[in-house]
A and B are shown apart, each in its own frame.
Chain A
Amino acid sequence: MTGKGFLSMLFGVFKRFVMTYVEDFRKGKDRYYTAEGIESRRKADVDGIFTIQYPEEKLPVPEEFRFLPFLVYEEGENGEKDLRCTSCGICAKVCPPQCIWIVRTNDPVTGKPIPEPKEFYIDVDICMNCGLCAEYCPFDAIKMDHDYEIASYTREGNIYGIERLSKPLSYYSGIRPTNFAAEEIARQEKEAMKAAAKKQAAPVEGA
């Protein structure tokens, strides 16, 4: 029958419309504005509405999600910030749009470089969120953030300095628990190996 195919398509659209309300009745109030509700509407077997009411509702981001780099610092006992960054410059060299500027600290007396950054800038207008800096940092000092709501009215201040970029280690372990745990294990293994190598080397020095 002519028109049957066309009508079946319209029926498909209508069914979705109806299913949204059927699901609303079935799931009740929890379907909207709750974490479970968002999760249930994103499943592969969802019926009816699929969209998320941003900004009232927000999708949870997966752990690997990357948006703008930040510098990790460890908090000392007296609350001082100890940046992990040694200003080795690998992130600045690997950055595809070249949006990282680092000024290395030099010892005022000897003039030799000290492994900490004097200044560290990222132009977030240029950053393309590729994550290569975090991937190739040998000290786990620069990591990708999860905070994607950084819109501003002007581009003044969109070159982030060291203050704006630094975030504590606890924040990092909060947003990326799996990665953090894996890195800690690798770090401990490395230190254990170093200690073992020292022990082995020590008697030779004594003799």
Chain B
Amino acid sequence: MSEEKVTVAQVPDISLQFDGKVTTDTRPGYSGFIVGAENLLEVVKSLRDEWGFDYLSSVTGVDYLPEGKMEVVYHLYRTIGGPALVLKVQVPRDEAVVPSLYDLFKSADWQEREAWDLLGIHFEGHPDLRRILTWEGFAGHPLRKDWKEAYFEEETKPYKSRWPEGQTGYIESNNPFHDNVQYPSGFDPDTWIPAAEEALYASAKKIGRDEELHTDTVVVNLGPQHPSTHGVFRMVAALDGEQVVFLKPVVGYLHRNHEKIGERNTYLQNMPFTDRLDYVSSMSNNFGYALAVEKLMGIQPPERAEYIRVMMAELTRWMNHVFSFGFLWNDLGSYFTPMIYALEERELILDIFEAVSGSRMMCNYFRFGGVARDLPAGVLDKVKELVFERMPRRLDDIDKMLSTNEIVRNRCIGCGVLTAEMAINNGASGPNLRASGVPYDIRRADPYSIYDRLDFDVVVHYHGDVFDRYLTRLDEARQANRILQQVVRDIPEGPIMTGKPAYQVRVPAGESYGRVEAPKGELGFYIVSTGKPNPWRYHVRSPSFINLISLEDMCRGGKIADVVLNLGAVDIVLGEVDR
């Protein structure tokens, strides 16, 4: 062919455009393009409007301490499919200032706040650049490489005090901060005024006030301890009568800095930690992380391992969606009986996980280049019984009970509408995006593992309300069932590991971004390796966290009673939101 064909599956070489404002990243192991901070807005706007990269998936930073540079990494996608366009902005570490993309993509909102909070990158033009995961009295930016936590022992694991001269003892006895806290200079916890909190309340009060009628709004705190917030999560809402005019989620109560722990860990040690992100679907988390590291290592798992992986991931998806129906009932006020029914289905799948991996929830089953162990005898028959007999029948039961139920229909239809444009702009992913009419599924848009060989449909619904989100999940559970039936039919015999299992893997220098379609949306792992046993940067693009950006749009204009329903329909797990 003489004419060069440009397909969706290719990323254009944009370094030839933009009059030299963009250069290709030529560091070995890296890909993407480097843009100057002053040209960022212009380039991204053109990419969005002219090149079709309308979905800003991930914004994060990397602290290159030896070079004295701070790098902001953007992953842009087209919602019609294809691989990522990676943009990077390099700024000096001491005065890390980058223009904010808030006006172009609202999905940058929380992610830029996170990058400011954890890395100290200032995003100029961001209207609400507060700390998000840590609190105001937090000293420093923890993901900077020169920041040290309480109980700091060494830069990287394994610690030298463990072997061969193990010095055992309670860990708090060697705490360098003595009372376990450090404050920024000039901060006194006794005289402290929570300025950011008060600003939040003030901005809530300001909206919706009618000067002529002398009415006032009421500010309500939902949470942090509340039976329907699915965890420790707070929403500050301003109400005009019963109507929500303003709503801001406040997160970070469960924050443990998963990413800093990940950078201290070796690659393999991170695997069990990923289980703790979205603890309802730990197998999917394993999947994403294994993909990212395998991409760097350049290895491919054997055929049987791929089938086992997909089987586990789809069982997880089915389980997660059925679980979310249970919560939907719960949030509608039908307290706990239906949710226990959902848990019953989950229990049977957890039995399989336990038999395979040894643990019900914290599976730690995937390894780089395969899975930890082969399916024990009898497990495949159990899975077959479930996917051919019980699971399809249960889905029909749920469909019959819920879809025609008048209470469910009256409450859910037309509630919490998110339009397609808003969903894309907010970076919503997973069922939240597909319920708004955007047929974007990573298993089809950017296939990984063996999904390109499997026969399934991308589920899409068009109203973008809570009921369509429920329908999307229901149909998706059916598709998961369909995939599972193919997988248990076709699973081949053979090895389950590429190469020899090693407790310390060699990962060449470079960067990689592995993403999977987790039950809750796009789960991505951004990893930077320097060739050492520990990752230099380990970032999790968690679907729950970014889906929550849309919560404000869903709730505004609705009734306060529907806020709980909307939150439930976003389907979050706080372990993943707060990381």
Contacts and interface: CB of A to CB of B under 8 A. Distances in A.
A103 B268 contact: no
Given A66-B358, A129-B362, A102 B166 contact: yes
Contacts of B8: none
B164 A45 contact: no
Given A6-B406, A66-B359, A178-B376, A102 B162 contact: yes
Contacts of A166: none
A119 B166 contact: yes
With most chain A CB atoms within 10 A of its CB, the pick from B159, B269, B344, B402 is: B269
Contact of B376 (A50, A62, A100, A135): A62
B166 A103 contact: yes
Contact of B268 (A16, A120, A132): A132
Given A3-B406, A62-B354, A132-B272, A50 B344 contact: yes
Interface residues of A, number: 50
With most chain B CB atoms within 10 A of its CB, the pick from A135, A144, A178 is: A135
B385 A44 contact: yes
B163 A89 contact: yes
Nearest to A90: B503
A6 B351 CA distance: 32
A103 B389 CA distance: 54
B372 interface: yes
A96 B164 contact: no
A202 interface: no
Contacts of A131: 358-359, 364
A116 B501 CA distance: 24
Interface of A is mostly: mixed
A159 B373 contact: no
Nearest to A103: B166
Classify chain B: how many residues form its interface, as a range: 35 or more
Nearest to B400: A8
Contacts of B359: 65-66, 129, 131
B312 to A, nearest CB: 14
A113 B164 CA distance: 10
Contacts of B382: 44
B362 A128 contact: yes
Interface in B298-351: 337-338, 341, 344, 347-348, 351
Nearest to A136: B503
A121 B501 contact: no
A92 interface: yes
B386 interface: yes
A12 B272 contact: no
B355 interface: yes
Interface in B353-403: 354-359, 362, 364, 372-373, 376-377, 382, 385-386, 389-390, 397, 400-403
Given A42-B351, A44-B390, A5 B405 contact: yes
A186 B31 CA distance: 44
A140 interface: no
Interface in A59-102: 61-66, 87, 89-90, 92-96, 98, 100-102
15 contacts: A9-B401, A42-B348, A62-B351, A62-B358, A64-B357, A65-B358, A93-B158, A93-B504, A95-B162, A96-B270, A100-B166, A102-B166, A103-B165, A135-B372, A144-B358
8 shortest A-B CB distances, which residue pairs? Answer: A101-B166, A5-B404, A130-B272, A89-B163, A104-B164, A96-B269, A66-B358, A62-B355
Interface of A: 2-6, 8-9, 12-13, 16, 42, 44-45, 50, 61-66, 87, 89-90, 92-96, 98, 100-104, 113, 119-121, 123, 126, 128-132, 135-136, 144, 159, 178
Given A64-B355, A64-B357, A130-B271, 13 more contacts: A2-B406, A6-B407, A42-B351, A62-B354, A65-B359, A66-B359, A92-B162, A94-B158, A104-B165, A123-B168, A126-B171, A136-B501, A178-B376
